[in-house]
Every structure is written in C-alpha cells, then in structure tokens.
Chains A and B, each alone.
Chain A
Amino acid sequence: MNVGFIGLGLMGRPMALHLEKAGHALHLWARRPDSLKPFAGVNAKTHASPAQVAAHAEVVIVMVADAPDVEAVCLGVDGLASGGKPGLIVVDMSTINPNAARSIGLRLAEKGIEFVDAPVSGGETGAINAALTVMAGGKPAAFEKVKPLLEKMGKSVTLIGDSGAGQVAKACNQILTGVGVLAVAEAFNFATKSGVDAGKVREALLGGFAYSKILENHGQRMLDRNFKPGFKAWMHQKDLRIVMEEAHRMGLMLPSAAATAQVFNAIVGSGMGENDSITALQLLEKVSTPAP
C-alpha cells in the first residue's frame, strides 16, 4: 500500500520503518530534512509538502507534537486536505485534545477525507519493538482499513469509539500513569525517609493489591536511579494539560490529576523536564527532609 508518514521523530521514525519492512511504499515529508536521512536506501519517496504526500497515498499517518501541529499538517497551507483525494484516510497517532481531534475530523470530512485518531502508549521502546498500545477513534470501516497497518506498529490495537474516543482513552491512560508514577514516588520517598528499604517495600507490595506495572517497571527504575527517558516528564506535563483542559471544558472534578499536574509543573520548572517522568521522585526528595 502507498502510505504517507509525517512526523519522523523519536517515535515516528521506527514506526514508519516497521511499515516499510512490512512491504509498504512510504511517502514522506519532513519540516527538517535531517529527519529523512534514516530513510535513504529504503522504499520511501520524499515529497515537497503534506499535500503531495496526500496525493500519492491511500493512508497518511501523522505523528507530531500537539494539536496546532496536527492542524497545520492536515488543514494548513499545502496541508493534507488540499492534496488528498476523497477516500483518503488520515490516521493521527499524536496525543492531542479530544475536542481538537473531533474538530479536525469534521473539517477533513468536508473534503471526503476520513480521520482516525489513534494515539499510542508505550513510548520510544514500544515504537522500536512494534509493541505499542494503539487506542483508536473513528468510523469502523475506516478503522478496519488501517488496522493491518496499525498492527505492524503495535501489539494491542483497539477501536474505542467515534472520532475523539482514542484521544479520550489516551487521556485516561495519562491520568492513570501520571497519578500512578507520583504515587509510587511518594511511597518510595516515604519508605526511604522512614529509614526503610524501598526495594524491599516494592518486593512485598508486588504480591498484593497495590501491584501495578508502574510499581514494577517504573519502581525498579527509581530504585536503579535511572532517570533517562523513557517518557519525558515535559510530555507528561503536556498530556496532563490536555486532561485538565477537557475537565475544565466539561465541568469535571479530577482532584488527583489536578494535583499531579502541579507536580509536573514543578518538575519542568526545576529544569528536570527532559528526564523520565519518574524524576518525580527526585523532586520529592529535593523538597523533603534529608534521609536519616
């Protein structure tokens, strides 16, 4: 299949390469020509604009930073909408505001272009290992057409509901992981400052109702004091901003997520935003009494 791919960063690059390896012809455009280098010598054609990518592809995948970027790629000057034929399917795998996703979907629909929001969880490691969790929103027919592509990049691919539903699921994911990472950091700091070995606490807790993947994986990385990303703290801050914007728009009370978002503000403001989210532990240590 002719597949367009826009957004060849840490996540997008390995994802696009998985599609090429599976036998698909790639059509690429990148803001920075450097991002195209890893695609020399593979079945990939470079184009001058998103519009041209859209003109050559049946499906275009977008993997960029935030809603304004997705909007520019889809609906801006020389965007996908200006080059795509009716029937084109645009799959946005970025994490953006669900309401923004719905609005982009509606505007593409005016041109006969289908839009599927399909944000992912699993980070750079998940992208490299084609082990991402993909949460999709859109029309079932469009989803079925792109599902085989998504399965080349992810291990678990689920249609959650209508347009925007994938982003809602991703927002839920970020509430759980954000609050979860902070909870583990708080527990470990509590144990250490009480003079108790956090590693032993983790080991004991893994057998009980407090078990979670975050306690297991993120917890181990906290014990190893390995704060390299992973998933960067500033990205978690951005994702929680989306969550809180939606809570504000709908009049929802999310007290834990709101408190967690403030801790991520403190992390980013302290210059720790490039670390993994588990750097929350370092922030707590910094503002707490020294260990005994």
Chain B
Amino acid sequence: MNIGFIGLGAMGAPMAGHLLQAGHAVSVWSRRGASADFLLSRGAARCASPAAVAAASEIVCTNVTGSADVEALADELAPGFAPGAIHVDFSTIAPSAARRIAARYATRGVDFVDAPVSGGSGGAQAATLAIMWGGKSALAIRLQPIFEVLGKTIVHVGETGAGQVAKACNQMVMVAAIEAAAEAARLADAAGIDFSKVRAAMMRGSAGSRVLEVFGGRMATREFAAGVEARLHHKDYALLLDEATRLGVPLPVSAAVGQQLNALMGQGWGQDDTSSLLRVLESAGQRGPAP
C-alpha cells in the first residue's frame, strides 16, 4: 500500500521503518530534512510538501506533538488528498481537536482517524505499541493490517475522538501510578529503608504493576534520563484536565498529580523521565532518613 508518514521523531521514525519493512511504499516529508535520512536510505521516498505526501498516499500517518501541530498539518495535507484517503494521526491531542479535523475533512470525502499510542519509544521500536483508535468502524478493514505492523494491542474504541479519550484515561491512570510509586519511594527512603527491596516485595503482591516495575525501577536506581520525557505527560495533563472542566467532571487525584507535574516542569526537569516526580517530592520536606 502507498503510505505517507510525517513526524519522524523518536516514535515516528521506527514506526515508519516497520511499515517499510512490511513491504509498504512509504512517502515522507519532514521540516528538518535530516530526520528522514535513515528512512530514505531504506527506500522511503522524500516529498516536497505535506500535500505531495497526501497526493502520493492512500493513507497518511502523522505523529507530531500538540493539537495545533496536527490541525496545521491537516490544513496542509487536505488539498493533496484524493477522496477515500485516510489520515491516521498517532499524536496525543485534545478529543475536540480530533473531532474538528474530522469535520473539516468530511467535506472532501477524506476520513480522519485518531489513533494515539501507548508504549513509548521502546514500544515503537519493538512494534509492541498499544493503539487505541477512534473513527468509522468500516475503516478497520484497511487499518487493521497497518496497525498490526506497529503494535500488539489494537482497540477500536468508538467514533472520532474516542481514541483520544482512551489515551487521556491511559495517561491519567499511568501518571497517577508513577506518582504513587514516587511517594512510596520517598516514604521508604525517608524512613531509612531501601526502596528497591520494598519494590521487590510489592511486585509480587496486589500493588505490583508495570509502572512499579519500569518507573519504580528507574526511581530505585535513580536513573532519571528519559524514557518518557515528563514534559509530554505534563502536556497531556493540560488536555485531560481541560476535558474535565469542559464536561463538568471532578478528577481530584489527577488535579493533584497535575500540580506535581507543574512543579517538576518549574524545576527544569521536563526533558527528564517522569520518574523525576520522586525528585519533586525530595525537593520539599524531610530529605534524608529520619533522625
């Protein structure tokens, strides 16, 4: 199939690579030319503009940062699309932005699918991402084979925007769990107890989780290099707390976690891993073991 790919960062580049390897013809465009070099050397075709990518593709995938980036990109892609084409966006954006883009495409007979992913750059490289998508269910026949090249868990959640709602829920549960792991680490350490032992004990019990394993592990060894850049989680919290305001839904724990992320950003750790939430706790309150 002819597939376009725009947004060749830590996630997008390996994803596009998997599509090439699966035998698809991949067209790319990137603002910074160099980020495409690796894919070009493996047979991808470089296009001069997003519209040219759209014109060369049945399906265009994008993986950029925020709502505004995707909306701007959609405006540039639109004139190139033939009716029947699909724009699959893997970025994490506001559900309302996804719905807006879908409505604008509809007049051209182009479909928009929001398909945010979970699993980080590791999951993108290993093709083990969880993909949660929203859009017309009839599109599954065309999309499922592509999604299966990129991820292991693929769920059609509902109509346009539903994928983004699922991603917001994912972030909410995951980062709250990171904060809980950080608080456990802080409490153990302040009490003079080795958190790695506490973690090992917890892993086998009811509190065991993927987050405790991965992020708790980074906290235990104090490896705060990303991983998942905390600024991305911070960005996602603005989206999900904004949805809560719009819908009139109280999210007390998420709001509290959002404030810890604000403090993390304020201390300049946005490009470090989200396990830095432990450092936020350490920057206030009792530092060392109890006297």
Residues of A that sit less than 8 Å from B by CB: 237, 241, 244-245, 247-248, 250-255, 258-259, 261-263, 265-270, 273
Contact = CB atoms under 8 A, between A and B. Distances in A.
A267 B250 CA distance: 9
Contacts of A259: 252, 255-256
Contact of A262 (B244, B260, B263): B244
B1 to A, nearest CB: 40
B266 A252 contact: yes
A143 B247 CA distance: 39
Interface string B237-269: 110011011011111100110111011111100
A258 B238 contact: no
A71 B232 CA distance: 29
Given A237-B245, A262-B255, A263-B250, A248 B266 contact: no
Nearest to A267: B248
B234 interface: yes
A255 B49 CA distance: 45
B245 A265 contact: yes
Interface residues of B, number: 25
Which of B238, B241, B256, B262 has the most chain A CB atoms closer than 10 A to its own CB? B262
Contacts of A244: 241, 258
A248 B262 CA distance: 6
A47 to B, nearest CB: 33
Given A244-B241, A248-B238, A258 B248 contact: no
B262 A247 contact: yes
Contacts of A266: 248-250
Given A245-B238, A258-B256, A259-B255, A252 B248 contact: no
Contact of A251 (B250, B251, B255, B262): B262
Contacts of B270: 251
Q: Is the contact region of chain B dominated by helix, strand, or loop, or is it mixed?
A: helix
B248 A250 contact: no
B266 A262 contact: no
A261 B237 contact: no
B250 A253 contact: no
Nearest to A255: B259
B234 A262 contact: no
B258 to A, nearest CB: 6
Nearest to A268: B248
B249 A252 contact: no
Closest 4 CB pairs of A and B: A269-B248, A251-B266, A251-B265, A266-B250
Contacts of B256: 255, 258-259
Contacts of B234: 248
A262 B251 contact: yes
B248 A253 contact: no
Contacts of A252: 262-263, 266
10 contacts: A251-B262, A251-B263, A253-B263, A254-B262, A255-B259, A258-B258, A262-B244, A265-B244, A265-B248, A266-B249
Contacts of A258: 255-256, 258-259
Given A237-B245, A259-B255, 12 more contacts: A244-B241, A248-B258, A251-B262, A251-B267, A252-B266, A255-B256, A258-B256, A262-B250, A265-B248, A266-B248, A269-B249, A270-B248
A262 B248 CA distance: 8
Nearest to B280: A253
A220 B245 CA distance: 29
Nearest to A265: B250
Contacts of B262: 247-248, 250-254
A45 B183 CA distance: 63
A273 B264 CA distance: 33
A269 B250 contact: yes
A254 B263 CA distance: 9
B92 to A, nearest CB: 16
Contacts of B245: 237, 241, 261, 265
Nearest to A260: B255
A252 B264 CA distance: 9
A237 B247 CA distance: 12
A278 to B, nearest CB: 18
A262 B252 contact: yes
B166 to A, nearest CB: 20
A30 B51 CA distance: 42
A198 to B, nearest CB: 24
Nearest to A269: B248
B27 to A, nearest CB: 36
Contacts of B264: 251
A262 B251 CA distance: 6
Contacts of A245: 238
B266 A250 contact: yes
Contacts of B237: 248
Given A248-B234, A270-B248, A261 B255 contact: yes
